[in-house]
Amino acid sequence: MARQRRTRHDSAIAVVGLGRFGTALAIELAQHGAEVLGVDASEDVVQHLHGTLSHVVQGDSTDPAVIEQLGLGEYARVVVAIGSDVTASILTTSQLLRAGVGELWAKAISPQHAVILEQLGVHHVVSPEADMGRRVAHMVRGSSDDFLEVDGAYGAMVVRVPRRLAGVPLRELAIQKEHGVVVVAVRQGEALRNANAETRLSPDGSMLVAGPTLDVEAFAARVATMRAEDA
Q: Distance between CA 21 and CA 24 in Å, rounded? A: 5
User: Mean pLDDT, to the nearest integer, of 19-27?
Assistant: 92
What pLDDT, on the 0 to 100 scale, is given for residue 56? 95
Measured CA distances, 12 to 25, 33, 113, 117 (Å)? 14, 10, 27, 23
Does residue 117 sit in the same domain as residue 210? no
Lowest mean pLDDT among 113-117, 136-140, 152-156: 136-140
Structure confidence at residue 155 as a pLDDT band (50, 70, 90): confident
Residues 6+ apart with CB under 8 A from 128: 21, 107
User: Looking at the domain assignment, is residue 3 inside a domain?
Assistant: no
Mean pLDDT of 7-26: 84
Q: Please report the pLDDT score of residue 143 as a whole number.
A: 66
Mean pLDDT of 6-24: 81
What is this structure's pTM? 0.67
Higher pLDDT, 28 or 10: 28
31, 60: one domain: yes
Last residue of a domain, one of 126, 145, 168: 126
Domain membership flag for residue 99 = yes
In a domain, 2, yes or no: no
Q: How many residues does the chain have?
A: 231
Asked if residue 4 is part of any domain, the answer here is no
155 vs 83, more confident: 155
| CA nearest neighbour of 146 among 161, 134, 156, 131 | 156
Which structural domain, as residue segments, surrounds residue 93?
Answer: 9-126
Residue 3 has what pLDDT? 32
Residues 6+ apart with CB under 8 A from 28: none
pLDDT one-digit tens code per residue, 69-92 = 999 999 989 999 997 889 999 999
Total tally of structural domains belonging to the chain: 2
Please indicate, yes or no, if residue 149 is contained in any of the structural domains.
yes
CATH code of 225's domain: 3.30.70.1450
Q: Do 14 and 104 belong together in one domain? A: yes
pLDDT computed for residue 10 by the predictor:
66
**Is the same domain home to 163 and 96?**
no
Cα(21)–Cα(107) distance, integer angstroms: 9
Using CB atoms within 10 Å of the CB of residue 132, give its burial: 0 to 12 exposed, 13 to 18 middle, 19+ buried: exposed
